[in-house]
Amino acid sequence: MGNDVMVREGNEPKLVFPALAGFYASVSDLWYPMIRVASGAILFMHGWAKLNAGPVGVTAYMAKSGYEPAAAFAYSAMFLETVGAVCIMVGFLTRPFAAAIAIELAILTFIHHWGNGFSWIRPGGGFEYPLLWGIVMFAIALRGAGPYSIARLTGREI
């Protein structure tokens, strides 16, 4: 078939089930907030675990992993993975927090996990998981808060 038959106006593909067009139109602006909220919530659970371990425990882990100054890395991770995660979920200061978290995940990917290979289930954890989440956070930093966010309510975003 020619390209003109396969593609509708705006280069969108034709629906296999055109009867679903109304449904898709009504939910089309939900995909991004779902990604933003879910990503923030998953990250928050990592931060919550660090809060439960406490600054001393997280600092000890950072030192053992070779991150110096360990306390600065510990407090940074705890802050980004709790306060930053909540801000990403609600769409407030989304770009700066997502960018900072993407940097944290790049450090984890290329310094901490790279030597363990790709697969996350390898001993020590490969770079698969932090790389994926780093890319997601980088994409969120590029996109910003989007619909259904505090930034959208206030009309202001960094």
pLDDT digits (tens, 9 = 90+) for 93-120: 999 999 999 999 999 999 999 999 999 9
For the segment 123-147, the average pLDDT, to the nearest whole number, is: 96
Of 93, 90, 94, 97, give the one whose Cα is nearest residue 149: 90
Asked if 17 contacts 11 with a C-beta cutoff of 8 angstroms, the reply is no
The pTM score is 0.86
Single-letter amino acid, residue 63? A
Query: What is the DSSP secondary structure assignment for residue 129, as one 8-state letter?
Result: H
| C-alpha pair distances (Å), 141 with each of 65, 113, 125, 144, 152 | 27, 23, 25, 5, 15
pLDDT at 6 over 50: no
Of 113, 109, 84, 110, give the one whose Cα is nearest residue 98: 84
Phi, psi values for residue 21, rounded to 5°: -55, -40
Asked if 132 contacts 119 with a C-beta cutoff of 8 angstroms, the reply is no
Provide the pLDDT for residue 133.
97
Measured CA to CA, the distance from residue 50 to residue 45 in angstroms comes to 9
